[in-house]
């Protein structure tokens, strides 16, 4: 009997996927190469073809003089991992840090609640996978988040009973760890981004481990997301695509969801589209899933050929929430909530991203101050490192512990950090404290250098 994989030669969904990959290759190959003074440059208009690539190259948020100067500087980095090599101008940033951005996964966390409550193991995967896809609408923003300072944290409360904490646990290489929890699930991630600079684009490889534990039955879900490509980084209007495969596996019972993020072809063909299947522990297709990561996802039971079952219909499981109109940074309402002190818990840690003076100045529209504060923080970080190394001390994160586990990923090995539980004790004590709360928390001085005891 045939399987969904056989359909690659029979037309339908998988044939369309292969066609999309071909179109993506053509768009890349035929885009402009070698603009004056920009040898090797590729510019791609996702809504157009090759004819308008040169015109597209003159667009974007960079001023021409700054763009040309930055291109000359960046050419020496082509082919390299530029995650932490390059100092970027503040006007291409958004007023949020990378560890805050992790928290955006919590916007549609009710899908994980539904997965935990679900009796059907295959529908459980539908809910959980839709949750994993939901963040991509927010991740398409083209502004760059600030790189966290070593020891920087982000806390979130007052969102559906969820407690969220992230910490920057390494500076070279840049690594973050996060933990979130409510009555239904626990979420843990260790993230180490790896990049490859290609001239006018950068490939971003999510070297990380994401685990979700659903509390009712104790099942553990593992997520491997697709890589991301940031196009028109310097020349043209920046846009983001994530072509590739997302795999979520139930490590406890064996079910698996495999979803394909279609690449963007000429004139936007295939852009945003996601299709795939939920498989049983016996690797048989049970539910097909389809949709767009910037709009909605739907599901429908299927037969062993991957075709919809007779008498069933496509049902929506997730839909993107409304967004603010004409928002400068393309923020969702939830992104604004993340930056707000309204989501901050009592006695906010002084290492919290909200308190960063560069981020806060950018949020208030003071570009000059944001740039000065960013440089000052980077100088202080270098000075702290020099002092620590001179004393022969080693940095230890405060809220996460490095384990002995090194897990393989499609893009390299990853050292795994785990939540050590100390934050839960800290938060319980802070929440029960009757001490006076700081009247204006925004005036708290940002201080990420609150490490655990250093070891000789």
List, for residues 406-440, the tens digit of each pLDDT value: 999 999 999 999 999 999 999 888 888 765 455 56
Average pLDDT of the chain? 87
Checking if the pLDDT of 40 tops 70, the result is no
As a whole number, mean pLDDT of residues 108-117 equals: 98
Residue 49: predicted pLDDT: 67
Could you tell me the residue range of the domain that residue 141 belongs to?
Answer: 61-252+321-456
Q: Is 248 helix (H, G, I), strand (E, B) or coil?
A: strand
Tell how strand 285-292 and strand 296-301 pair up: antiparallel
The residue behind tokens 């260790």 is 190
Strands (E), 302-433: 315-319, 400-409, 412-419
Checking if the pLDDT of 209 tops 90, the result is yes
CB atoms within 10 A of CB 256: 18
Residue 62: predicted pLDDT: 84
Residue 36: predicted pLDDT: 41
Strands (E), 126-201: 144-146, 153-159, 162-170, 175-181, 185-197
Whether 335 maps to a domain, the answer reads: yes
Checking if the pLDDT of 69 tops 50, the result is yes
Percentage of the chain lying above the pLDDT 90 cut = 64
What does the alpha-carbon distance between residue 261 and residue 159 come to, in Å, rounded to a whole number? 29
Burial grade of 351 (CB within 10 A; 0-12, 13-18, 19 or more): buried
Least-confidence region, from 59-63, 166-170, 322-326, 398-402: 59-63
- Non-local CB neighbours of 446 within 8 Å, separated by 6+ positions: 350, 351, 352, 355, 356, 357, 377
Q: Using an 8 Å Cβ cutoff, are 9 and 252 in contact?
A: no
Of residues 85 and 254, the one with the higher pLDDT is: 254
- Annotate 211-241 with DSSP letters as a single string: EEEETTTTEEEEEEPPPEEEE-SSSS--EEE
Checking if the pLDDT of 12 tops 70, the result is no
CB atoms within 10 A of CB 196: 18
Provide the terminal-to-terminal Cα distance of the chain, rounded to the nearest Å: 63
Whether 263 maps to a domain, the answer reads: no
Residue 394: predicted pLDDT: 85
> Using 50, 70 and 90 to split pLDDT, how confident is the model at 50?
low
Checking if the pLDDT of 114 tops 80, the result is yes
C-alpha separations of 423 from 74, 211, 430 in Å: 41, 19, 10
Nearest to 345 by CA among 403, 273, 428, 401: 428
Checking if the pLDDT of 51 tops 70, the result is no
Of residues 305 and 23, the one with the higher pLDDT is: 305
The residue behind tokens 């390494």 is 170
Q: Using an 8 Å Cβ cutoff, are 164 and 100 in contact?
A: no
Q: Where are the alpha helices (DSSP H) in 313-356?
A: 333-339
Percentage of the chain lying above the pLDDT 70 cut = 87
Checking if the pLDDT of 18 tops 50, the result is no
Sign of CA dihedral 64, 67, 68, 69: positive
Nearest to 278 by CA among 320, 306, 238, 297: 306
Run of H or E residues at 95: strand 93-97
Run of H or E residues at 126: helix 121-134
Checking if the pLDDT of 236 tops 70, the result is yes
> Using 50, 70 and 90 to split pLDDT, how confident is the model at 305?
very high
Q: Using an 8 Å Cβ cutoff, are 271 and 264 in contact?
A: yes
Checking if the pLDDT of 218 tops 70, the result is yes
Residue 193: predicted pLDDT: 85
Whether 187 maps to a domain, the answer reads: yes
Whether 36 maps to a domain, the answer reads: no
- How far is Cα of residue 424 from the mean position of the Cα atoms in its chain? 25
- Number of domain units in the chain: 1
Whether 29 maps to a domain, the answer reads: no
Whether 436 maps to a domain, the answer reads: yes
Least-confidence region, from 41-50, 289-298, 383-392: 41-50
Residue 30: predicted pLDDT: 39
The residue behind tokens 């963040």 is 135
Whether 146 maps to a domain, the answer reads: yes
Strands (E), 302-444: 315-319, 400-409, 412-419
Least-confidence region, from 20-34, 182-196, 265-279, 378-392: 20-34
The residue behind tokens 């980077």 is 378
Whether 244 maps to a domain, the answer reads: yes
Its pTM stands at 0.89
Residue 435: predicted pLDDT: 59
Checking if the pLDDT of 2 tops 60, the result is no
As a whole number, mean pLDDT of residues 356-369 equals: 95
């Amino acid at each position: 009997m045939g399987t969904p994989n056989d359909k690659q030669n029979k037309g339908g969904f998988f044939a369309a996927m292969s066609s999309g990959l071909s179109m993506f290759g053509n768009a890349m190959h035929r885009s402009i190469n070698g603009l004056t003074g920009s040898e090797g440059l590729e510019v791609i208009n996702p809504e157009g073809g090759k004819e308008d690539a040169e015109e597209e190259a003159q667009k974007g948020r960079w001023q021409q003089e700054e763009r040309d100067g930055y291109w000359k500087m960046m050419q020496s980095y082509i082919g390299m991992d530029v995650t932490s090599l390059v100092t970027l101008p503040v006007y291409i940033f958004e007023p949020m840090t990378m560890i805050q951005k992790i928290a955006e996964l919590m916007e549609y966390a009710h899908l994980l609640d539904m997965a935990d409550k679900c009796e059907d193991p295959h529908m459980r995967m539908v809910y959980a996978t839709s949750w994993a896809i939901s963040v991509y609408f927010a991740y398409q923003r083209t502004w760059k988040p600030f790189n966290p300072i070593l020891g920087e944290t982000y806390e979130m409360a007052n969102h559906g009973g969820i407690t969220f904490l992230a910490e920057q646990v390494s500076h070279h290489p840049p690594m973050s760890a996060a933990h979130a929890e409510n009555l239904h699930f626990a979420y843990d991630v260790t993230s180490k981004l790896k990049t490859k600079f290609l001239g006018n684009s950068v490939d971003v490889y999510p070297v990380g481990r994401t685990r979700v534990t659903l509390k009712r039955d104790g099942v553990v879900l593992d997520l491997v997301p697709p890589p991301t490509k940031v196009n028109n980084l310097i020349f043209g209007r920046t846009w983001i695509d994530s072509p590739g495969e997302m795999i979520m596996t139930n490590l406890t019972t064996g079910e698996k969801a495999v979803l394909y993020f279609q690449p963007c072809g000429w004139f936007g063909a295939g852009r945003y589209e996601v299709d795939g299947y939920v498989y049983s522990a016996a690797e048989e297709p049970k539910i097909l899933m389809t949709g767009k990561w910037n709009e909605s996802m739907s599901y429908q039971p299927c037969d062993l050929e991957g075709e919809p079952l007779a008498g069933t219909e496509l049902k929506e499981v997730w839909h993107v929430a409304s967004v603010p109109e004409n928002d400068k940074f393309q923020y969702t309402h939830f992104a604004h909530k993340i930056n707000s002190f309204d989501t901050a818990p009592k006695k906010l840690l002084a290492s919290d991203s909200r308190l960063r003076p560069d981020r806060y100045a950018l949020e208030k529209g003071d570009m000059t101050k944001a740039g000065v504060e960013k440089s000052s923080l980077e100088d202080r970080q270098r000075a702290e490192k020099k002092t620590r190394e001179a004393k022969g001390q080693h940095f230890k994160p405060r809220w996460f512990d490095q384990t002995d586990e090194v897990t393989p990923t499609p893009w390299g090995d990853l050292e795994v950090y785990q939540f050590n539980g100390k934050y839960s004790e800290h938060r319980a004590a802070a929440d029960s404290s009757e001490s006076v709360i700081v009247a204006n928390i925004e005036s708290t001085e940002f201080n990420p250098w609150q490490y655990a005891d250093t070891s000789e």
